[in-house]
Structure 1
């Protein structure tokens, strides 16, 4: 077993979808995270990310060298203006893969857990080789709901997101115990370990430094998984 990534984060390389969505913009699937912050480090290409948050609607330009990050509850939608390639850093490493995302499907789907599961789930979990048109279909359905949310926010302000946030939280409530276990074994344990080290150093005890070690992943753990926003190369420091 390799050591976890620093701070218990998750890391992936994202090649953003470049096909056109129903509103004429090429890019990914709008969604939000319930517990995880997310950061983008742009390594190639240009694009933008549209967000709905407590700050209202905004569009942020992306170019090589840009770092952009946002907190849980931010609805985000990536737009690809050409060859957009991003390194994605997620808090709470395992939670996004464990379902910590809600796609902005129309409300009648969000309010129906069985229908949401059908619409959100890709064949074979989106494993490499899966027909990409299934991801496009899912994305385009989420664009429909995103347009409704955006119009509501532009009309009534950020408070228009409250009902969607509540519905998203209700949809994922059955997973909370599972998420808590992942968090305790990941980011929480990493933070606790830092506390243990600080206490030891305050006592003049540096013996933990003797167990220093190096870990490496020479290549992604998996290439080409269909993600919400594009093709994912994932880095998983597992066994």
Structure 2
């Protein structure tokens, strides 16, 4: 018992020393928008087409199943972040609960994920921009990567504010997309040639490839939800992390489910 108390005290002391070297500048609104902005990107807009092509209209059910999974994970991750705010987040929790090998593996796998995703997002965004501007896609991709790298060199306060406003732009953009799509389906958008909601039951029906395709679609849709975990990673750089992470996690969960 005494050894457990000493271990807990040592961990708390180490965390306090570590946090003293960080700038506790992130606010609740910034943390929430950083997490929401992380799941709204070029991968969501471009990648959703692959899911629709593979599953059909039933891709909606794949998104529902994925939302439930993300909801459960975020609830548990949020509780751990409140108890032990740490920039290592789930890799630190895995190391504490399972062993150093688990924390090491999860940490490097997460690093590898972002090494792959950032170029994919940059290429997808560059392909979109290249359709509107007379510049090659590779140059847009290079500029996007340089821009993202520069933003990450800001101090925490300025980085959080930058991410908040740019994430807000993405939220506004997806809301406008939803409104335009709704108007097109209802026949109120003059520049769209649509068939209403007939595509939901024609061309093979709502589930043209069967129920198994819905489960396979989860593998495609879950990619769109990566980034929501940032709310726990930012815990150690927030003022009063226990209170703000708890509120930010709840807000992120419900907003993700809506989107």
Same fold (TM over 0.5): no
Say which structure, 1 or 2, has more relative contact order (CA 8 Å, 6+ apart): 2
Q: Which has the higher helix share?
A: 2
Give the greater-gyration-radius structure (CA): 2
Q: Which has the higher strand share?
A: 1
